[in-house]
Amino acid sequence: MRKGRFHKAVANVAQRYSESVSFDHRLYRHDIAGSIAHAAALTKAGIISEAERKKIEAGLREIEKQIESGKFEWDEALEDVHMNIESALTKQIGEAGGKLHTARSRNDQVTLDLRLYGKEQIEQTSAQLKKLQTAFLDLAGAHVDLVMPGYTHLQRAQPIYFAHYLLGQVEAFGRDAERLRDCLQRTNVLPLGSGALAGSTIVLDRELIARQLGFARVSQNSLDAVSDRDFVCEFLFCLAMIGMHLSRLSEDLIIWSATEFGFIEFSEAFSTGSSLMPQKKNPDMAELTRGKTGRLYGNLMSILTTLKALPSSYNRDLQEDKEALFDSIDTVSAALELFSAMLPELKINRERMEAAANDSNLLATDLAEYLVKKGMAFREAHEIVGQLVADAMAKGTKLSAVPLAELKKGAPLFDVDVAEVFDVRRSLAARRAIGAPSPENVKKQIARWRKSLA
Ligand code: ARG
């Protein structure tokens, strides 16, 4: 690459500073696929013969095999994955190898490779999300009748089904899958043929390349195509969002596993001990997942910051896109794999959840709605029930223990049928609007998600 223009060798320190092959070698399969498609377009354009194209393809396949078997020697002096493979090809097949880079720059090559890799990883992440969602559905199916308190502000609020909570998780990860499908739309665009920034006087059939590589569209502006890393930002955002969802899930599980709650227990296979306190069993997997969210956000911020003041087209700063993306992909992939394995092994303490859900104060809103159904304005009912709760608390009892005579002092509308209000399952059965946790709704949602994931 330096032959001709340069008289001085690159300084060792500069070479070490700028090489990317130590991390972008991960793109070798995509680089090779891209080069094979490029060679086909060069043949169609009359630049290389069919015999040369075949030689190039066979050479690249051979290099692929060498890389896969660990025999390929990566050379940091050759800077990146692209130069390493091109140089090995030329060594292997001679002159034809030197023709491959016609009408191509590493600027369109590197973003091609990253888009091919991104497409593959989007599929991979989507499949992992599906697996996690299935684990939630299995758990929901196994505990479909289990009630628990729902919380706001981490204070007991109203009863829900545990399955309703799990279905909430399925919804969140379903949105992540939807976002990935959308991100794929903008990743699925062929940049190759944009050259360094201004295409080439050698006209390639880019539609042909796109078809061969499985791209849905071809980029329409060469300058933008070598500049554009929106797809990297979007993917990093999707991954940060998945991390955020996993982190909130982790937080719930950590809290519920504390002795004070005792709703769940992590399997010993997914817990750690303390180096000092013999009794400890710690939820480290969930904590690590919560912690790793920080690097996912950091990677997103890092690429956005790298891009913010770049002049149009390619600048070497863009090399900084890859490590952030690789790290986020690895981090999320490991976390999704972990949770899919850990969830089925969670021990659910049904008695503890059920007992907590039977706190009749959770039905204070139901009591107010009882009065509303008898004609009272909600604000008035809210105040009356609030007073009843305060009185009961002052006497050290629960709302359900307040005698009818006392209730009637608060509001004459109270009658013997008020006793029915304090039945948790009756309350849940009444919550029938779309999205509310009636048992019918919960079962319907499990079935709907099963069908949509199938
Ligand atoms: N290693 C570079 C990157 O990752 C490849 C492109 C280099 N292009 C250049 N004109 N220096 O972005």
Q: Calculate ∠ Cα 284-285-288, nearest 5°.
A: 80
Residue 331, pLDDT > 90, answer yes
Residue 5: pLDDT band (50, 70, 90) is: confident
Q: What is the pLDDT of residue 2?
A: 75
How confident is the prediction for the chain on average, in pLDDT?
97
* Inter-residue contact 98 to 306 (CB < 8 Å): no
Residue 37: pLDDT band (50, 70, 90) is: very high
294 CA → ligand 1 middle, Å: 28
In the chain, % of residues over pLDDT 70? 100
CA distance 112 to 105: 11
Tell me which residue has its CA closest to atom 12 in ligand 1.
319
- Tens of pLDDT, residues 175-193: 999 999 999 999 999 999 9
Looking from the CA of residue 80, the nearest atom of ligand 1 is: 1
Cα–Cα nearest to 226, from 187, 200, 197, 193:
197
Which one of 111, 316, 317, 322 would you pick to mutate in the ligand 1 pocket, going by the greatest count of ligand atoms within 8 A of its CB? 316
Q: What is the pLDDT of residue 1?
A: 74
Contacts (Cβ under 8 Å, ≥6 apart) of 85: 28, 31, 32, 35, 60, 63
Which one of 79, 107, 115, 232 would you pick to mutate in the ligand 1 pocket, going by the greatest count of ligand atoms within 8 A of its CB? 107
**Could you tell me the two tokens for 96?**
């034809």
> Which whole number is the average pLDDT over 348-356?
98
Burial of 113 (0-12, 13-18, 19+ CB in 10 A): buried
> Which whole number is the average pLDDT over 125-135?
98
- Residue ranges around ligand 1 (CB below 6 Å): 20, 24, 80, 106-107, 110, 314, 316, 318-319
Measured in whole angstroms, how far is the alpha carbon of residue 371 from the centre of its chain?
A: 45
Q: Which of 3-17, 195-209, 282-296, 335-349 has the lowest mean pLDDT?
A: 3-17
Tell me which residue has its CA closest to atom 11 in ligand 1.
316
Cα–Cα nearest to 236, from 183, 281, 188:
183
> Which whole number is the average pLDDT over 342-371?
97
* Inter-residue contact 151 to 157 (CB < 8 Å): yes
Q: What is the pTM of this model?
A: 0.96
> Which whole number is the average pLDDT over 92-110?
97
> Which whole number is the average pLDDT over 284-293?
98
292 CA → ligand 1 middle, Å: 29
* Inter-residue contact 219 to 190 (CB < 8 Å): yes
Residue in the block written with tokens 């029938």: 432
Active-site position among 22, 49, 274, 452: 274
Q: Tell me whether strands 189-190 and 217-218 are parallel, antiparallel or unpaired.
A: parallel
Residue 204: pLDDT band (50, 70, 90) is: very high
* Inter-residue contact 159 to 442 (CB < 8 Å): no
153 catalytic? Reply is yes
What count of residues does the chain have? 454
Cα–Cα nearest to 229, from 321, 106, 301:
321
User: Cα-atom radius of gyration of the chain, to the nearest Å?
Assistant: 31
Residue 65: pLDDT band (50, 70, 90) is: very high
Tell me which residue has its CA closest to atom 2 in ligand 1.
319
Looking from the CA of residue 318, the nearest atom of ligand 1 is: 12
Angstrom distances, CA of residue 71 to CA of 19, 62, 68, 299, 393: 21, 11, 8, 32, 75
> Which whole number is the average pLDDT over 242-262?
98
* Inter-residue contact 147 to 353 (CB < 8 Å): yes
274 catalytic? Reply is yes
CA distance 67 to 399: 71
Which one of 10, 17, 20 would you pick to mutate in the ligand 1 pocket, going by the greatest count of ligand atoms within 8 A of its CB? 20
Residue 3: pLDDT band (50, 70, 90) is: confident
CA distance 199 to 107: 11
98 CA → ligand 1 middle, Å: 19
Measured in whole angstroms, how far is the alpha carbon of residue 173 from the centre of its chain?
A: 8
